[in-house]
Amino acid sequence: MLDIGSIHRTEYELTGQSESVVIAEAPGRIHYLGEHGEPKAGLYLSSAIDRYVRVAVSLRKDNSLRFYAADLGERKRTTLINLKYKREDRWANHIKVAIHVFAGMNYPVKGLNFTIAGDIPQQVGLASSTAIEVAAAVALRGFFSAGISDKELLSRLTASSRVFFGKHISALDYLVAFSAKKGYFLIVDEAAMEVKRIRSPFSKYKILIMDSRVPRMGVEDELKERRQDLKRGLDLLSQKKQGLSFRDYAAADLIESMGDLPEDIRRCCLHVVQELCRVYEAEDALKRPDLPALSRIILHSHESLRDLYEVSCPEIDWLVKRAGEIEGVLGSRMTGQGFGGCTYTIIAEKAIDEYRRRLEDYERIFGFHPLIYDVRPAAGAALVKQVKK
Q: Point out the residues that are catalytic.
A: 173
Distances (CA, A) of 286 to 10, 186, 196, 326: 47, 11, 12, 22
* Nearest alpha carbon to residue 116 among 102, 96, 100: 96
Residue 321: which residues within 8 A CB-CB, separation 6 or more? none
Which residues lie across from 197 on neighbouring strands?
186
Residue 164: which residues within 8 A CB-CB, separation 6 or more? 84, 85, 93, 96, 97, 100
Cα–Cα distance, 264 to 266 (Å, whole number): 5
Strands (E), 190-252: 194-199, 205-211
DSSP letter for 198, please: E
* Nearest alpha carbon to residue 146 among 22, 28, 48, 25: 22
